[in-house]
Amino acid sequence: MNSGGVVVGVDGSESAAAAARWAAHEAAVRNVPLTVLTAYGFSDGDFTTRRYPPSEWLAAKENSAEELLREVRAELADAEPEARIDTATSSSGADTALREASADARMLVLGKPTGTLSGLLAGSPDIDLAAHARCPVAVVRGSVHPGGPVVVGVDGSELSEAAIGWAFEEASLHGVPLVAVHTWHDADSSRLFGDIARSFPYELREAERRLLAERLSGYCERYPDVPVEQVVEPDRPRDRLIERSAHASLVVLGSRGRGGFTGMVLGSTSHALLHHAGCPVLIVRATQAAGFPTTEER
C-alpha cells in the first residue's frame, strides 16, 4: 500500500486547474496531504548539467514553474482551506516526474486527455502512465456531479476486484450511493443481436446476477453505510458506463478487464472512458487495494 497522499500534476492549462481543484477536495476529505507537482524538463531525459540545455534556459523554466505553483497553491488554499498543500517542481520530463511521484502516492490526479503525448503534465496524460503508475490514477474530465453515485465496472477479474474496493471506499468517504455495473459480453447488442439481446435465457441472466452479488457481498458487509444498486446487462461495458457517467461523481475501473489482450497497456473500456466519460475516472490496477485512512484515523 502506498503511504503518501494525493499528487496532482499541473501545467497551467484549464484541464490541469480542474484536476487540481478536484484533487484538493479529495485530499481534504481524506485528511491526507496534497502535493501539487509541475515538471519543466524534457520527456526524453533529465537535464541537470550546465551544458545542455543552457543553464539560463533551465533557470527561467524553473522560475516559471515555481510561479505557477504559487498561483495554484493560493487558489487551492482559498477553495479548500482544510487541505494541507505542498508543492514540488521537477527538472525531469512530465512522464518521468509523474511515474516517480506515483511510487509514494495514494492517488495520482491528472487532467483529461487531449489525444496527444506532447509532454504537458496534466493536459495530455500518457495512457501508458494510467496503466502502469504505482498508484491509482484519477483523470478529471467531464463534469463533477456532487452527490452523484460512484459507478464501478465489475467483470469478475482480479482487476475489477481491486476497483470494487476503491469504489466502496470512495462512496463511503463522500456519503453517496454505489452503482455496480456488470455486463457479460463486449459486443454491440443493438447491432449484433437486435431483439435477440433481450431474450437471453433466464438462467444465464440469473447466473450473472449471482456472480455480481457474490463479488459485492463482502464489501457490502464492510461498508453497510453505502447503498448499492446492482446493474446486470448483456451489453458492451463501455456504453453502459459512459451512459452512467453522465450523472455520476466518479467512475472506477480496473486498468484491463478479463477480455484484455496480453501486452495491452490499457483495456478498451478504460481507454474509452478516459476519453468520453462525463465525470472523473479512477483507474486501478490489481495490486492497488484501497488504502486510505480508516474512520478512526480520519
Band (16; pLDDT cuts 50, 70, 90) = very high
Same domain for 222 and 134, yes or no, is no
Domain-terminating residue out of 109, 140, 171: 140
Same domain for 83 and 121, yes or no, is yes
Residue 117, in any domain of the structure: yes
Residue 145, in any domain of the structure: no
Same domain for 217 and 100, yes or no, is no
What is the residue-averaged pLDDT of the chain?
Answer: 81
Residue 291, in any domain of the structure: no
Residue 292, in any domain of the structure: no
**Residues of the chain above pLDDT 70, percent:** 75
Domain that holds residue 64: 6-140
On the question of pLDDT at 47 being above 80, the answer is no
- When pLDDT is averaged across residues 44-51 and rounded to a whole number, the result is 48
Residue 1, in any domain of the structure: no
Same domain for 181 and 216, yes or no, is yes
On the question of pLDDT at 15 being above 80, the answer is yes
Number of domains in the chain: 2
CB 231 within 8 A of CB 240: yes
Q: In this predicted model, what pLDDT tens digit does every residue of 164-205 receive, in sequence order? A: 999 999 999 999 999 999 986 654 444 444 444 444 566 777
Residue 295, in any domain of the structure: no
One-letter amino acid identity for 143? S
- When pLDDT is averaged across residues 259-265 and rounded to a whole number, the result is 42
| CATH code of the domain in which 92 resides | 3.40.50.620
On the question of pLDDT at 117 being above 80, the answer is no
| Of 260, 41, 294, 295, the residue nearest 160 (C-alpha) | 260
Same domain for 224 and 279, yes or no, is yes
Instruction: Please give the pLDDT value at position 164.
Output: 94
